[in-house]
């Protein structure tokens, strides 16, 4: 359609009109447009994308630019057919085929709003056409925070470091915060130069999604997809082209571990658009994997486990007064930790750490592959890991008798297993589930259910043919010594899977939850062995998590550099006298460090004080036990057990009397 604007020049008077041939000089129109703008055609078998270079990046609006320029040069007199011909001329001189050259961003650079940060040169510069960026991140690079604060009239202390404070709100160790910071920096980088991926692990309401929200706030150049869908669907890989991070929102199973290599590392992957044979493209997106549970590892070789950094999210955020961290409204988090100034300062800070990540081809906070393997196996199948570490085949009962076989009390083993599973964020077991796990373990053989006689003469249900592998545990060990077993489990567990800061870092102390509800703290004899920091206490212990952190962050614990080239771990020394005083100040340890008292022992002593004619209501016994620090439900179970064992009898419903 020809559009004529009155008052404009006639086409014969325009520079782009060929007077000799009496027609538009389409090549001259194309050259004039190309002198004003830079174009690139990106072609595959089905589609053409026409990009124009504007404001430092290539924008996919080349067609509209060409049309507008054509009409400007011809006073709106050029027909649509001629505009298409101009486009073809420009295309022929600027065409790139995806399966030949590709049109990919320059490696090792970060496209901020106001320019490019070059990681290898560690300098901030202007955009270049050869950078091949089609996007900018949402953040600006801040070269000088003080000048930035003056320019924007802000208090720098109100914004600098706030986003890192947010990461510390989600995490409890420097190692994990460092991994999150480096993940944030990598999500801004134009390529993914390492062959490791972080796994954000833990249950719901623990901050994993808020960390991903942080990445999304810094850049719109991300993509979210299910990992299983991505590994099975070749078309889905097209969505990852030139993205800087991809969020895999769950990790249910790993059918083909080899396919993971497409997404973890600077690998070439085959991209196959719909109705096309596909082409090879570099995987550039930083993979961020979230998992409430880990699937069973498909293989146990070092090559598989070295690709992952498991980052536990240890806290839960709720709106109830339940001892968890307070859940903040999203808007409040946004305003305090993710406002424009805080994100600009944070992003500018973390990209400076990328050179070291690139140099060592991995996250700077490393740990042995065996630790990662142990972390994975425990989280994917914690009950089997527990059995593997703490239960071995014992002596089976001889035919017709089970009196001389090894036995483990069922309730004791279930409690120990669930304590262990709780530490790794797994799902608590019921007795039949533990029994099934034992039956399915090829290294363990169960006899028929047996009974184990305790030191007080009571017989309780037990697994025959099993025994515990804990030091200082023997066949007839009384229940009052179970605190030592708990301590040994805690010690052995944390030696294997704790973070690098505490793994083989210190032999300090184990604060362990005792059997029943008695409250005590058991110290290990040495403070110089390879071991531990501190175990969490259960919510009912008065020595609270906050007090533990207060002590740990004080000068009571000093960290010294380890000069050994064979270890990446620090050494920690603990001032025993100062720590004892801190514990005493917290009111959690009596001056004489009293011995443990179990509910069973307390009940026996309490009943021994009755006369033969004493009759007690259930409620009276329960109240007395609660005053001594025991849980009412445990007391009811203990009364039922004593009735079954003939220690007590019921003269009337709801009342008990001492037998004999």
User: CA 63 → CA 45, 91, 283, distances in Å?
Assistant: 19, 10, 29
pLDDT score, position 141 = 97
Model confidence pLDDT, tens digit, residues 334-360: 888 999 999 999 999 999 999 999 998
> How is 321-367 classified by DSSP, letter by letter?
SSSSEEPPPHHHHHHHHSSHHHHHHHHHHHGGGHHHHHHHTS-SS--
Highest mean pLDDT among 81-85, 142-146, 476-480: 142-146
Domain 381-473 is in which class? mainly alpha
Domain ranges of the chain: 11-97, 145-360, 381-473, 494-585, 599-658
Highest mean pLDDT among 165-174, 267-276, 515-524: 165-174
**For residue 434, what are its two tokens?**
């533990």
The candidate with the shortest Cα–Cα distance to 251, out of 287, 300, 207, 284, is 287
Question: CB of 110 within 8 A of CB of 245?
Answer: no
Give the Cα separation of 142 and 127 in Å (integer): 16
Give the Cα separation of 324 and 206 in Å (integer): 10
Q: Give residue 167's pLDDT band: very low, low, confident or very high (50, 70, 90).
A: very high
pLDDT score, position 237 = 60
pLDDT score, position 573 = 41
Q: For residues 466 and 456, which has the higher predicted lDDT (pLDDT)?
A: 466
Q: For residues 239 and 428, which has the higher predicted lDDT (pLDDT)?
A: 428
Q: Give residue 138's pLDDT band: very low, low, confident or very high (50, 70, 90).
A: very high
The least confident of 203-217, 398-412, 520-534 is 520-534
Q: Which residues pair with 291 in a beta bridge?
A: 201
Rounded average pLDDT over 215-231: 75
Q: Give residue 381's pLDDT band: very low, low, confident or very high (50, 70, 90).
A: confident
Model confidence pLDDT, tens digit, residues 615-624: 888 888 888 8
Options 2.70.180.20, 3.40.30.10, 3.40.50.300, 3.40.50.720; which CATH number does 145-360 get? 3.40.50.300
Q: Which residues pair with 459 in a beta bridge?
A: 453
Tell me: pLDDT of 578 over 60: no
**What residues have CB less than 8 Å from 400, skipping those under 6 apart?**
none
pLDDT score, position 651 = 83
Q: Give residue 252's pLDDT band: very low, low, confident or very high (50, 70, 90).
A: low
Pairing of strands 115-118, 123-125: antiparallel
> How is 81-93 classified by DSSP, letter by letter?
HHHHHHHHHHHHH
pLDDT score, position 281 = 62
Question: CB of 283 within 8 A of CB of 266?
Answer: yes
Question: CB of 528 within 8 A of CB of 545?
Answer: no
Model confidence pLDDT, tens digit, residues 1-45: 333 344 456 777 678 888 888 888 888 888 888 887 777 666 555
Is this prediction's pTM over 0.85?
A: no
Tell me: pLDDT of 553 over 70: no
Model confidence pLDDT, tens digit, residues 285-323: 888 988 887 888 878 788 888 889 999 888 888 887 766
Characterise 206 by phi-psi region: left (phi > 0), alpha (psi -120 to 50), beta (else).
alpha
Tell me: pLDDT of 547 over 50: no
Q: Kindly state the helix (H) or strand (E) to which residue 135 belongs, with its residue range.
A: none
The candidate with the shortest Cα–Cα distance to 622, out of 634, 614, 632, is 632
């Amino acid at each position: 359609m020809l559009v004529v604007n009155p008052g404009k020049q006639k086409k014969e008077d325009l520079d782009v009109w060929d007077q000799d041939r009496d027609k538009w000089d389409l090549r001259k129109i194309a050259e004039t447009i190309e002198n004003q703008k830079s174009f690139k055609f990106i072609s595959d078998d089905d589609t053409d994308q026409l990009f124009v270079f504007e404001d430092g990046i290539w924008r996919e609006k080349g067609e509209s630019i060409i049309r507008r320029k054509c009409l400007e040069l011809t006073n709106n007199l050029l027909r649509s057919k001629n505009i298409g011909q101009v486009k073809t001329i420009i295309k022929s001189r600027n065409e790139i085929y995806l399966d030949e050259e590709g049109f990919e961003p320059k490696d090792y650079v970060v496209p901020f709003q106001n320019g490019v940060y070059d990681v290898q040169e560690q300098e901030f510069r202007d955009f270049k056409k050869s950078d091949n960026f089609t996007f900018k991140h949402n953040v600006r690079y801040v070269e000088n925070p003080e000048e930035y604060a003056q320019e924007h009239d802000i208090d720098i202390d109100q914004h600098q470091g706030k986003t890192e404070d947010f990461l510390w709100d989600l995490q409890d160790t420097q190692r994990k915060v460092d991994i999150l910071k480096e993940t944030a920096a990598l999500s801004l980088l134009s390529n993914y130069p390492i062959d490791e991926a972080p796994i954000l692990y833990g249950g719901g309401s623990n901050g994993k999604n808020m960390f991903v929200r942080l990445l999304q706030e810094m850049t719109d150049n991300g993509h979210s997809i299910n990992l299983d869908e991505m590994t099975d669907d070749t078309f889905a890989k097209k969505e990852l082209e030139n993205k800087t991070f991809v969020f895999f929102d769950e990790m249910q199973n790993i059918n083909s571990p080899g396919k993971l290599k497409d997404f973890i590392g600077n690998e070439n992957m085959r991209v196959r658009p719909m109705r096309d044979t596909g082409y090879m493209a570099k995987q550039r997106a930083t993979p961020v994997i979230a998992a409430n549970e880990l699937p069973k590892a498909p293989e146990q070789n070092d090559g598989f486990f070295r690709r992952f950094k498991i980052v536990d999210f240890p806290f839960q955020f709720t709106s109830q007064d339940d001892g968890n961290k307070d859940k903040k409204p999203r808007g409040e988090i946004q305003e305090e930790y993710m406002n424009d100034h805080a994100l600009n300062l944070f992003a500018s800070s973390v990209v400076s750490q990328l050179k070291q990540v690139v140099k060592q081809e991995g996250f700077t906070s490393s740990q042995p592959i065996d630790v990662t393997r142990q972390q994975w196996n425990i989280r994917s199948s914690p009950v089997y890991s527990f059995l593997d570490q703490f239960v071995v085949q014992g002596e089976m009962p001889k035919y017709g008798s089970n009196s001389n076989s090894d036995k483990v009390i069922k309730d004791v083993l279930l409690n120990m297993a669930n304590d262990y599973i709780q530490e790794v964020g797994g799902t608590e077991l019921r007795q039949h589930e533990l029994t099934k796990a034992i039956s399915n373990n090829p290294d363990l053989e169960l006899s028929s259910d047996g009974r184990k006689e305790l030191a007080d003469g009571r017989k309780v249900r037990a697994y025959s043919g099993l025994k515990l592998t804990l030091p200082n545990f023997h066949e007839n060990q009384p229940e009052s010594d179970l605190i030592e077993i708990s301590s040994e489990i805690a010690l052995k567990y944390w030696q294997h899977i704790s973070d690098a800061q505490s793994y083989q870092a210190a032999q300090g102390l184990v604060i362990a939850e005792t059997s029943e509800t008695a409250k005590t703290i058991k110290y290990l004899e040495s403070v110089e062995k390879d071991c531990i920091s501190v175990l969490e206490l259960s919510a009912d212990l008065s020595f609270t998590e906050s007090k533990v952190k207060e002590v740990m962050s004080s000068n009571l614990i000093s960290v010294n550099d380890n000069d050994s080239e064979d270890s990446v771990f620090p050494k920690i020394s603990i001032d025993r006298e100062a720590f004892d005083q801190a514990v005493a100040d917290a009111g959690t340890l009596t001056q004489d460090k009293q011995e443990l008292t179990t509910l069973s022992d307390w009940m026996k002593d309490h009943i021994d004080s009755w006369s033969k004619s004493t009759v007690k209501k259930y409620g009276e016994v329960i109240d007395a036990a609660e005053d001594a620090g025991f849980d009412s439900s445990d007391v009811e179970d203990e009364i039922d057990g004593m009735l079954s064992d003939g220690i007590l009898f019921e003269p009337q419903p709801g009342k008990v009397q001492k037998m004999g």
